[in-house]
């Protein structure tokens, strides 16, 4: 099998449009409710987009492994488009949380199916480059989204257009899946075999390298999730930026992700370096979290955010590829759903704590503590990842 670069490039283009739409919604809904509901309200918004991915993960993995991607993906993407469109009617905070949760619930099997399907269109050696290519598309979309959201809100005085554009982007991606004939057929089921939702978790815990890497990333996510809640308060309240400036600052993360993703898609790196690169990326993200605590201008945040995006792209490309390449085809959907659920659980815990801590101690103090916690976690857990990686090479 050869890597189908033409199909993957077109899929990346469609994905960039969808990611731009999703970023529009994320930033628009935060801007819409941050003043009225404060840090806890922003936490509730983020949790409404994350909790469903945890609760639905076991069943999402089963769907990804037992339903053809050509059927599953367009159907769920269409539902996501409809639920996002409902946000434009401004039915209130609670209904916004409901529609965000519906979108996130459908997005869980979509994400698992997409990740599991990639291996059907790329060789194992090319998979990190493919991940980089797809992330380039999504990062470009995410880079355009925040600035556009801030612009639309400022110029129109309404949040509705951000939600309408996002809704349309889901239908664009659904059409691309059908037009490109993206598909992954379920593996034949052995007679008497039971399809267990938790098989993905068991595989993650069984493989030494996958287990060590997932645990390390999960623990770091708990600490750095404070940024998701505190960024808007740091940039706008502490540093005095307006909505457009906030959108531009947030977009620098996506710009850094574009540069990092392009790098991973262009340069072919031997597999023995994938785990060390992942650890180095986590170290960089930890130091950036600590740096944000001392930011004196929004430009400092923008620069730090660009660097964070660059290293995050490397972590996604090499870390996730390691996991995909070590997963049997027949349970790949369940494994990727399990991994996503673990990461989402970490975000929920981190953001839940962050909202309370920021309200009590201030954003700068919490960012500083989170950065120190990240560094301590890496010192303790990173050696296990590197040891497992060396055993794999040997």
pLDDT, position 201: 67
Q: What is the DSSP string of 372-390?
A: HHHHHHHHHHHHHHHHHHH
Measured N-to-C along each axis, helices 57-66 and 332-361 cross at an angle, to the nearest 10 degrees, of 150
The structure tokens listed for 282 are: 């986590």
Separation of CA 273 from chain center:
23
Tell me, what's the pLDDT at 167? 93
Distance CA 252, CA 257 (A): 8
pLDDT score for 222 = 77
Query: Counting Cβ atoms within 10 Å, is residue 278 exposed (0-12), middle (13-18) or buried (19+)?
Result: buried
Q: What pLDDT is attached to residue 200? A: 63
Instruction: Return the closest-CA partner of residue 142 out of 27, 260, 10, 264.
Output: 27
pLDDT band at 316; cut points 50, 70, 90: confident
C-alpha dist (Å) from residue 224 to 204, 367, 375: 23, 8, 11
Give the chain's largest Cα–Cα span: 64
Task: Average the pLDDT over 106-133 and give the result.
Answer: 79
The string of pLDDT tens digits covering residues 320-343 is 887 777 777 777 777 777 787 788
Confidence of residue 192 (pLDDT cuts 50, 70, 90): very low
Compute the average pLDDT of residues 231-247: 80
Q: Is the pLDDT of residue 47 over 60?
A: yes
First to last CA, the chain: 26
* pLDDT greater at residue 255 or residue 206: 255
pLDDT value of position 392: 59
3-state helix vs strand vs coil in the chain, percent to 5: 85, 0, 15
**Band of residue 191 on the pLDDT scale cut at 50, 70, 90:** very low
CA atoms of 355 and 366, how far apart (whole Å)? 10
For the chain, domains (ranges, CATH) are 5-184+197-393 (1.20.1250.20)
The reported pLDDT for the residue numbered 31 is 82
Instruction: Please state, for a pLDDT cut of 70, what percent of the chain lies above it.
Output: 92
Residue 187's pLDDT is what?
64
Among 82-86, 112-116, 159-163, the least confident range: 112-116
pLDDT at 85: 96
- Whether the Cβ atoms of residue 34 and residue 83 lie closer than 8 Å to each other: no
What pLDDT was estimated at residue 194? 53
C-alpha span between 122 and 54 (Å, rounded): 28
**Euclidean distance between CA atoms 143 and 135, whole angstroms:** 12
Higher pLDDT residue, 77 or 393? Answer: 77
Which band of pLDDT confidence, cut at 50, 70 and 90, is reported for residue 40? confident
Whether the CA torsion 95, 100, 102, 103 is positive or negative: it is positive
Calpha distance 134→128 (Å, rounded): 10
Structure-model confidence comparison of residues 253 and 164, the more confident one: 164
Mean pLDDT, residues 101-108: 91
Residue 240 in tokens: 């005095």
Most confident of 73-87, 153-167, 269-283, 374-388: 73-87
What sign has the CA pseudo-torsion 351, 352, 355, 361?
Answer: negative
Cβ-Cβ contacts under 8 Å for 170 (sequence gap 6 or more): 18, 21, 77, 78, 80, 81, 84
**Half-sphere exposure of 285 toward its Cβ, with a 13 Å CA cutoff?**
31
CA dihedral (44, 25, 100, 105) in degrees, to 10, reads -120
Q: Which of 81-90, 150-159, 168-177, 301-310 has the lowest mean pLDDT?
A: 150-159
62-91: per-residue pLDDT in tens? 888 788 888 999 999 999 999 999 999 988
Assessment of whether the complete model's pTM goes beyond 0.85: no
Average confidence score pLDDT of the chain: 81
Average pLDDT over residues 252-262: 81
For the cut 80, the answer to whether the pLDDT of residue 174 exceeds it is yes
Query: What's the angle, vertex CA 233, arms to CA 256 and CA 348, rounded to 5?
Result: 75
What pLDDT sits at residue 83? 95
Q: If you average pLDDT over residues 38-51, what whole number do you get?
A: 82
């Amino acid at each position: 099998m050869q890597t189908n670069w033409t199909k993957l490039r077109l899929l990346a283009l469609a994905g960039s449009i969808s990611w731009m739409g999703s970023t529009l919604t994320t930033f628009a809904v935060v801007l819409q409710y941050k003043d009225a509901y404060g840090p806890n309200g922003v936490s509730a918004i983020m949790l409404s987009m994350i909790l469903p991915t945890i609760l639905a993960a076991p069943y999402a993995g089963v769907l990804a492994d037992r339903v053809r991607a050509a059927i599953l993906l367009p159907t769920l993407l269409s539902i996501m488009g409809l639920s996002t469109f409902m946000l434009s009617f401004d039915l209130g905070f609670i209904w916004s949380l409901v529609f965000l949760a519906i979108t996130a619930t459908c997005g869980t099997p979509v994400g698992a199916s997409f990740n599991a399907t990639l291996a059907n269109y790329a060789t194992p050696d090319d998979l990190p480059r493919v991940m980089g290519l797809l992330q380039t598309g999504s990062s470009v979309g995410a880079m355009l989204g925040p600035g556009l959201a801030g612009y639309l809100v400022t110029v129109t005085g309404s949040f509705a257009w951000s939600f309408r554009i996002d809704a349309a982007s889901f239908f664009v991606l659904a059409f691309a899946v059908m037009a490109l004939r993206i598909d992954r057929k379920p593996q034949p089921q052995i007679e008497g075999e039971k399809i267990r939702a938790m098989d993905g978790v068991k595989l993650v815990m069984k493989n030494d390298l996958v287990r060590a890497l997932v645990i390390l990333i999960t623990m770091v996510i708990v600490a750095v999730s404070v940024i998701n809640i505190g960024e808007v308060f740091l940039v706008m309240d502490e540093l005095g930026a307006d909505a457009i400036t906030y959108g531009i600052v947030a977009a620098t993360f996506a710009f850094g992700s574009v540069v990092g993703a392009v790098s991973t898609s262009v340069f072919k790196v031997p597999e023995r370096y994938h785990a060390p690169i992942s650890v180095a990326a986590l170290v960089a993200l930890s130091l950036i979290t600590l740096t944000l605590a001392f930011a004196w201008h929004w430009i400092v945040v923008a620069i730090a955010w660009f660097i964070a995006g660059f290293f995050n792209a490397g972590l996604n490309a090499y870390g996730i590829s390691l996991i995909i390449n070590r997963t049997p085809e027949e349970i790949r959907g369940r494994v990727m759903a399990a991994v996503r659920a673990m990461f989402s659980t970490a975000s929920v815990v981190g953001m839940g704590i962050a909202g309370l801590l920021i309200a009590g101690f201030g954003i700068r103090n919490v960012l500083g503590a989170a950065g120190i916690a990240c560094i301590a976690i890496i010192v303790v857990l990173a050696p296990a990842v590197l040891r497992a990686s060396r055993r794999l090479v040997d």
